Amino acid sequence: MKTTTNGPQTIGQISMYFKHGDLFLSPEEYQRENAWDLKQKKLLIDSIFTGFDIPKFYLWKIDQRTLSNGYPDGDMKKYYKKLLEKKRLENDEDDPYIYEAVDGQQRIRTILEYMGFTPPNKKCFRGSWLDPFPAMPETPMAKGKKYEQLNVNQKLKFEQYSLSVVVLEDSTIDEIRDMFLRLQNGTPLNAQQKRDAMGSNIGNSVRELAGLSFFTKSVPFPNSASNHNLVAAQMLRLELKNEIASCTSQQLDKIYEHYKKTAIDPAVMGRTKKIIGILGDIFPSNNPHLNQNYALSLYWLLSRILFTYDIPSSEYPKIRSNFEKLDAARMEAMTRGYNKGKDEIYEDLSLAMSRGNLGTEALMKRHEIIGLYLFDNVVLKEIPKLDPKRNFTFEEKLLLYHRSGGKCQLEHNGKVCGRSIDFDDAVVDHIKPHSLGGKTELSNGRIAYNLCNIARGNRNNFDPKKDCHLDDD
């Protein structure tokens, strides 16, 4: 890694780079989303107008060498490669380059928002983009004016403000992440933001989970402090352990380190996405009751229950309603004061739900209470249990295959499919679907052509000829 100061050094130069799509803010690999409030933004603009010094900016210069030697594979790498090639051809540049903001992106965004710039494309930034805002009223020059209200001389002075810019060249992503973390030692990055900046396989998986609709549409808490990433990481932690386990910051640090280079099992990832997807279906819109601790507990409960039950979507409104009633009753009891002998369950739940209470004992207590209230006493009473034995054995398949004469036994209106099939193309189908309570035993099994079985699903009105497009034998 080498550093120079030959990059953009004025506000005007910075803004032009962004305007033309050559400056990128908040890259997911190590950065955080927009975290400044309006007061912080106004103070920065005030500092520029009054001539106060502001901290250094660190930019990563990315060229073809960077992409070849130090940039992680992914969508941004593909995008940068195409962009640099386009710049080379259109501008006749021998060695085109662009910039990523390593440190100072909050300040850059503030400056650009004040000037009324809009991102040229969504690749250039991450998160929300604010409308232009006025400077602080006491600013001697601006006097509370928006940028568009300034006269020519005022705008020129603002754009010519000199910035201290450090450009990082010939750097790898690991060096950039290390630089970012070192620069943040004196700033309030929280534990999850530091994990996000580490760069790991699990970090990519967590970001994918946090992008699902449950997080973007259902939960009331924002992702400004990586809260979505935190809860998604906790969910993945439980799924990886396959048991109730502590989700403290120390434990998350350990799994991030363990999976830095090791890939997450696709089956684990697929299951986690499935459960979060069901949560999104149960809570299709923003729900004020869904705090971070509840989201984690509901995930684990569903994850365990779906081993035993196939909960139809018709039950989702009942689950949501019971959850809201439980939390409303808890808050009412907490507000008026807990009545001895009557409100112990709400008091226990409040204690287990307290912020930062992520040890194994607290998790078990709230899972127990929520599970009892939402599922055991209400929903699951009306749903038959699934046979814990999900699949037929090889020996059972072989026996049923010979009994069938090597022919598909799926039927419709009393007519058997009868298609001759090889053993390798045969599967054992539950006559009464497993998801509807059918047992995994020989009396409930039959041989089926694998494509017929996939097409049937758990439908009883399945027509093999029509649905599988089978020809008559």
Which residues does 48 contact at the CB level (< 8 Å), separation at least 6? 11, 54, 111, 158, 161
**Cβ 471 vs Cβ 449: under 8 Å:** no
- What confidence tens digit (pLDDT) does each residue in 186-207 have? 555 567 777 876 667 888 899 8
| Amino acid (one-letter) located at 39 | K
Structure tokens of 68?
């070849």
Q: Which of 104, 94, 84 is nearest to 22 (CA)?
A: 84
Q: Specify the length of the chain in residues.
A: 473
**Least confident among 175-184, 313-322, 326-335, 456-465:** 456-465
Whole-prediction pTM value? 0.48
- What confidence tens digit (pLDDT) does each residue in 346-398 have? 888 887 776 456 677 777 777 777 777 666 554 444 545 545 566 788 888 88
CA pair distance 199, 285, nearest whole angstrom: 32
Structural domain boundaries in the chain: 2-184, 195-382, 394-468
| Amino acid (one-letter) located at 369 | I
- What confidence tens digit (pLDDT) does each residue in 59-86 have? 888 888 888 876 777 778 888 888 888 8
- Of 114-128, 166-180, 266-280, give the range with the top mean pLDDT: 266-280
CA pair distance 395, 233, nearest whole angstrom: 41
463 falls in which pLDDT band (50, 70, 90)?
Answer: low
Mind giving me the DSSP string for 144-167? T--GGGS-HHHHHHHHT-B--EEE
Q: Which of 181, 186, 183, 179 is nearest to 197 (CA)?
A: 181
The conformation of residue 120, written as its DSSP 8-state character, comes to: S
pLDDT at 189: 56
464 falls in which pLDDT band (50, 70, 90)?
Answer: low
CA pair distance 179, 183, nearest whole angstrom: 6
Residue 179's Cβ-count burial label (10 Å; 0-12, 13-18, 19+) is buried
Helix (H, G, I), strand (E, B) or coil at 10: strand
Structure tokens of 152?
């020519």
The phi and psi torsions of 407 (rounded to 5 degrees) equal -125, 145
Largest CA distance in the chain: 93
Number of Cβ within a 10 Å radius of residue 291? 17
CA pair distance 466, 464, nearest whole angstrom: 6
- Cα angle 248-251-253, degrees, rounded to a multiple of 5: 110
In the sheet with 57-62, reading across from the earlier edge strand, the strands are 2-4, 165-169, 57-62, 98-103, 23-24
pLDDT at 20: 86
The conformation of residue 420, written as its DSSP 8-state character, comes to: B
Query: At which residue do the structure tokens 């790498």 appear?
Result: 77
**Cβ 236 vs Cβ 202: under 8 Å:** yes
The conformation of residue 461, written as its DSSP 8-state character, comes to: S
**Cβ 298 vs Cβ 370: under 8 Å:** yes
- What confidence tens digit (pLDDT) does each residue in 408-433 have? 998 877 788 888 988 888 888 888 77
pLDDT at 379: 47
Number of Cβ within a 10 Å radius of residue 229? 22
* CATH architecture of the region 394-468: Orthogonal Bundle (1.10)
Position with higher pLDDT, 460 vs 112: 112
Residue 36's Cβ-count burial label (10 Å; 0-12, 13-18, 19+) is middle
Element housing 80 (H / E): helix 75-91
Q: Which of 243, 244, 240, 148 is nearest to 201 (CA)?
A: 240
Which residues does 228 contact at the CB level (< 8 Å), separation at least 6? 210, 215, 219, 221
CA pair distance 269, 209, nearest whole angstrom: 9
Would you state the torsion angle of the CA atoms of residues 461, 463, 469, 472, taken in this order, to the nearest 10 degrees?
170
CA pair distance 269, 373, nearest whole angstrom: 28
- Cα angle 60-260-357, degrees, rounded to a multiple of 5: 105
Helix (H, G, I), strand (E, B) or coil at 74: coil
Which residues does 179 contact at the CB level (< 8 Å), separation at least 6? 1, 58, 102, 103, 168, 171
Task: Calculate the CA 196 to chain-centre distance.
Answer: 12
Mean pLDDT over 222-247 rounds to 84
Query: At which residue do the structure tokens 């975290």 appear?
Result: 35
